Chain A
């Protein structure tokens, strides 16, 4: 059975950009959410193996999502894809259990590198 991957970003462009840039070797069902609250609802109702998570979002931001995943001990991997690339922020999300940090815009090369590194492709 294919893995389900969730792309969570408030921007349609960013979601499309990411979807298009995913390595072709990555075999997964892709679903999307346009803010943190929506993402949590999905994560609590169905099994998601991997989340591509934006940080700066309305409703509930990426940090809030990471905190909830940690608090509920959900079994999913998170790759943060964000424009907010300050060292302090990178440190913070890694401490909250993110697997990796990808700087926006998420290009195919960057995604392939990270996913290869963690054995996702």
Chain B
């Protein structure tokens, strides 16, 4: 996998673009939800897709977790899939956050809604940084209340060569919940992404 390697400078560049996109997403969310979103430096890591399930299996060992996937496509062959990981104990908090307490909305719908809001706000900011724009596929729940989510994650990740793991902790003043976001990018799109980063770096 050496050809998909990122140099320190490229990594730093990507990290900064992610920071800026996160900032924009948080701002939009804060205004929309009427609550302050505490922003942490999102830790990004490039991991081999094959190792992903191991990594998350230990983190979500105790509770059952839900996986929601959302695909995105941009220009110049940039495409990928985001996976949001939630602990199901958070579902009530998410309902409150979205103002869903008033009517009957299924758990599945809440999870796809919050996932599409969190990922598309972030991704559209990232696309802007990359001077690209993304279109999105509808979110899908990969597994819910499922003990063997690691298998599902492994199966999904298998189709990708490299995963950009962005650990995002959405912490809000009035409500608190955590979720993890994983960006999965196929090999050839990683090369495109690296080229774009080099172009940005050449400007500065």
Contacts and interface: CB of A to CB of B under 8 A. Distances in A.
> Taking the complex as a whole, does A directly touch B, i.e. does some CB pair lie under 8 Å apart?
yes
A59 B36 CA distance: 22
Interface in A67-119: 82-89, 103-105
B37 A86 contact: yes
A43 interface: no
Interface stretch (B11-19, B66-74, B103-111, B144-152): B11-19
Contacts of B41: 10, 56-58
B200 to A, nearest CB: 7
Contact of A88 (B13, B19, B30, B200): B30
A11 to B, nearest CB: 4
Given A13-B13, A17-B204, A83 B36 contact: no
Interface string B170-204: 00000000000000000000000000000011011
A30 interface: no
A56 to B, nearest CB: 5
A13 B24 contact: no
Contact of B27 (A11, A20, A57, A86): A86
B30 A105 contact: no
Given A20-B204, A105-B129, A11 B19 contact: yes
Contacts of A87: 27, 30-31
Majority SS of interface residues in chain B?
helix
Interface residues of A, number: 23
A13 B23 contact: no
A13 B12 contact: yes
B78 to A, nearest CB: 19
Contacts of A12: 9, 12-13
B20 to A, nearest CB: 4
A104 B18 CA distance: 11
Contact of A11 (B12, B31, B40): B12
A2 to B, nearest CB: 23
A105 to B, nearest CB: 6
Interface of B: 9, 12-13, 15-17, 19-24, 26-27, 30-31, 36-37, 39-41, 129, 200-201, 203-204
Given A56-B23, A56-B39, 9 more contacts: A13-B13, A13-B16, A58-B41, A83-B21, A83-B39, A87-B27, A87-B31, A88-B36, A104-B23
